[in-house]
Structure 1
Amino acid sequence: MSQHKYKNKHFGASVRAATQGIVKSFKTERNLKIDLLMAILVIIISCLVHISLTHFMIVFILIGGVISLELMNTAIEQTVDLVTEEWHPLAKAAKDMAAGAVWFFSIISAIIYMMILYDTLS
């Protein structure tokens, strides 16, 4: 198999492939659906309490970070599953670490968002 078989030659093809990956992930991954639901909830609350533009930009960075990490976690899990169908401690560790990255950033994001709400409402 040629190493360039999956490499997109045009920017438009790259954008289509990325979009297909995002759509497939949102269709099949429960956690991405939860992340999207939480993002919508956070945006609604942010609008209702009138957070500042700067805070809104921070919120969007946090949402983008969580969703991006979740997409990477999904890619890592699927790659590990492609490489081995058998249980292996390194495969488990790779999946656990990828999930841990999402969890850690989600917790930090929630803390930052609480700080934004506190600053806005006080």
Structure 2
Amino acid sequence: MKSLLKSFTHAFNGLRQMVFAERNFTIHIIVAFVAVAFCFLLQVNDIEFLIVVVCIATVISAEIFNSAVEKLCDFVHPEEHGQIKVIKDLAAAAVLMVALASFIVGVVIFVPKLVDLFF
């Protein structure tokens, strides 16, 4: 039980680090709150809501992994290096792909409901 509590403590420490040290993470959290608000305001169905939640969790997880890769690269090789740049760019590209896919999901779910609401 003690090791489980310790694991959760480490995980929450990581989240706290992300909130206070990573600007992009804060942006993702704000967008997540907006998406959840849209879910309630536009009365999406349960499946649509779960899809939005999975997209949010995936984007946030990708951003956490990206930050971990960046910090590890900086620790292992503090000076600028071509291969380190490639590694960091690849990790950032993964976040971009997940964010773009999630944006498309948001458009597919929210735009028809917004059109119905206003037109």
TM norm. shorter chain > 0.5: yes
User: What corresponds to 1:77 in structure 2?
Assistant: 70
Find the aligned partners of 1:99 and 1:34 in 2 and give their Cα distance. 15
* Alignment TM-score, normalising by the size of structure 1: 0.88
* Alignment TM-score, normalising by the size of structure 2: 0.90
2:25 pairs with one of 15, 29, 32: 32
Once the two structures are TM-superposed, the CA of residue 120 in structure 1 deviates from its matched residue by 4.0
Find the aligned partners of 2:92 and 2:5 in 1 and give their Cα distance. 31
SS at match of 2:78: coil
Q: Percent identity?
A: 32
SS at match of 2:100: helix
1:93 pairs with one of 82, 86, 105: 86
Where has structure 1 moved over 2 Å in runs of 4 or more?
118-122
Q: Which runs of 5+ in 1 are unaligned?
A: 1-8
Which of the two has greater helix per residue? 2
Q: Which runs of 5+ in 2 are unaligned?
A: none
SS at match of 1:59: helix
**Number of positions where the alignment pairs a residue of Structure 1 with one of Structure 2:** 114
Q: Which amino acid aligns with 1:84?
A: H
